[in-house]
Amino acid sequence: MKKTTRKLLLSTLLTFIILAIGTFAYQRMSKQKKSTISETQEEKTVRTVQVQNYAPEDITNSITLDGRLTAYEVVNLFAETSGVLKPTSKTIKEGSYVKEGELLFDIDGRDAELNLLAQRSALMTAITQIMPDLKFDYPQAFDKWKRYLDEFDVRSTVKPLPEISSDQEKYFVAGKNIYNLFYGIQSAEQRLNDYKIYAPFSGVVTASNIYPGQLVNLGSNLGTIMNTGKFELKAPVSLADLKYIKTGQKVTLYSDQLDQKWEGQVSRISRVIDNVTQNLPIYISVWGSGLRDGMYLKGELKANQLKNVIALDKSMITDQNKVFVVEDETVKTKTIEIIKQDETTVYTRGIELDDQIISGSSAGIFSGQKVKVESL
């Protein structure tokens, strides 16, 4: 046998021996290997939930409010005459407190006073000139016009003219220009009052734009006064709460910073809805010490009672108007009627006494889920 043929047979034989040994070792090791998969099936965990039964009751309906105070009356004072501003007993500056009827601004009106005296004097002269004709032509009217002339004082406010007894007397007096002079004087007296400006109410001066010695022009803005005795709070409310609110209702307002409370009253309800928030503003009148314009206040309005309702935490509501109940250890959903809701609580109807309502958060709970019940 040739040497090459012998090497080939030897190589083939060694290959078969190696394969046989490998196959035997694999089979032996396979029988000894343990499975990593558990032969017993893992038990499923059943969730435990807390349930509670609810009974309907009558609940006080409170509506929370908040807003900023604004002064109920703010008046801008304008000059209706012109002249130099005279000093008064009190210097009016921003922040000054003034009482109702107190003199705020006094514009020099000496020219107007002298002109008024001249007009009254002209009326007295005109009446004096008609007296002889009255005595002879209208003797029944002479005495009353004489009394009027005797009491006439050019430094006092003109009194109403004597009553006319006949058409002839009226035509005679009108022909002598008496009426024209009289009403001209009344107009001048009214204008003279405009030289002095008094406080229309007690309050605080929030702006003072002119000081004594300055020239005041007709229409000048002299200043602004704010009534500190009465304020108004503008508070937005939802359309759902609007049916519980009416004018005249009492509102308790309070400030967290001052730890103080005030009693207010709903004075007006707006008819214009905010396009963004869909809320409707109401206006609450409030008065008392410690109030300031621009102050932020919170409030609580006691409305009519909610009859036969159940108060639930908002976290218990799912799909807007449903709650989870447990029947035969199975979770189901129940549709309810929502009467009212606020920031944390929903007031509902449609829940029976024997309904086992899942209390607390409904996260991870779904209809058809098997649960264990733990009553509160």
Residues 243 and 315 in one domain: no
Confidence of residue 129 (pLDDT cuts 50, 70, 90): very high
Per-residue pLDDT, 44: 59
365 inside domain: yes
Confidence of residue 37 (pLDDT cuts 50, 70, 90): very low
* CATH code, domain with 242: 2.40.30.170
Residues 80 and 216 in one domain: yes
The string of DSSP codes covering 6-21 is: HHHHHHHHHHHHHHHH
- Residue appearing with tokens 């963004």: 276
Judged by average pLDDT, the poorest of 304-308, 360-364, 367-371 is 360-364
CA–CA separation, 51 vs 357, rounded Å?
5
Using the predicted structure, report yes or no on whether residue 35 has a pLDDT greater than 80.
Answer: no
* CATH code, domain with 349: 2.40.420.20
Per-residue pLDDT, 89: 84
24 inside domain: no
Torsion of CA 3, 6, 11, 12, to 10 degrees: 150
Residues 245 and 298 in one domain: yes
124 inside domain: yes
Residues 272 and 233 in one domain: yes
- Mean pLDDT, rounded, for 240-251: 88
302, 319, 341 — which closes off a domain? 302
Q: Which helix (H) or strand (E) holds 139?
A: helix 139-151
Per-residue pLDDT, 41: 46
Long-range contacts made by residues 135-142, C-beta under 8 angstroms, separation at least 24?
A: 137/172, 138/166, 138/168, 138/169, 138/172, 140/165, 141/165, 141/166, 141/169
Residues 320 and 358 in one domain: yes
- Asked if 329 and 371 count as a contact pair (C-beta separation under 8 A), the reply is yes
Percent of the chain, pLDDT > 90? Answer: 55
- Asked if 119 and 184 count as a contact pair (C-beta separation under 8 A), the reply is yes
DSSP 8-state code for residue 360: S
pTM reported for the whole predicted model:
0.63
Q: Which domain holds residue 265?
A: 62-70+229-302
- Mean pLDDT, rounded, for 299-310: 87
CA–CA separation, 337 vs 349, rounded Å?
5
DSSP 8-state code for residue 166: S
Number of separate domains in the chain: 4
Residues 285 and 331 in one domain: no
Per-residue pLDDT, 189: 94
Confidence of residue 4 (pLDDT cuts 50, 70, 90): low
Residues 54 and 181 in one domain: no
The closest of 372, 331, 327, 376 to 47, measured between CA atoms, is 372
267, 302, 337 — which closes off a domain? 302
172, 193, 214 — which closes off a domain? 193
Beta partners for 322? Answer: 318, 335
Residues 270 and 236 in one domain: yes
Per-residue pLDDT, 9: 67
The string of DSSP codes covering 205-252 is: EEEE---TTSEEPTT-EEEEEEESS-EEEEEEEEHHHHTT--TT-EEE
Residues 251 and 296 in one domain: yes
Beta partners for 269? Answer: 282
Which has the higher per-residue pLDDT, 299 or 362? 299
Using the predicted structure, report yes or no on whether residue 242 has a pLDDT greater than 90.
Answer: no
Per-residue pLDDT, 306: 85
Residue-wise pLDDT for 200-225, tens only, equals: 999 999 999 988 999 999 999 999 99
* CATH code, domain with 91: 2.40.50.100
Confidence of residue 315 (pLDDT cuts 50, 70, 90): confident
Q: Which amino acid is at 353?
A: L
39 inside domain: no
- Mean pLDDT, rounded, for 113-137: 93
Residues 239 and 170 in one domain: no
35 inside domain: no
Per-residue pLDDT, 185: 96
DSSP 8-state code for residue 312: E
Per-residue pLDDT, 31: 58
Residues 254 and 324 in one domain: no
Q: Which amino acid is at 126?
A: A
97 inside domain: yes
Residues 182 and 117 in one domain: yes
Please calculate the CA angle 105-110-115 and round it to the nearest 5 degrees: 130
Q: Which helix (H) or strand (E) holds 198?
A: strand 196-198
Using the predicted structure, report yes or no on whether residue 8 has a pLDDT greater than 70.
Answer: no
- Mean pLDDT, rounded, for 14-37: 63
Per-residue pLDDT, 38: 47
4 inside domain: no
CA distances, 333 to each of 132, 310, 354 (Å) = 107, 17, 15
9 inside domain: no
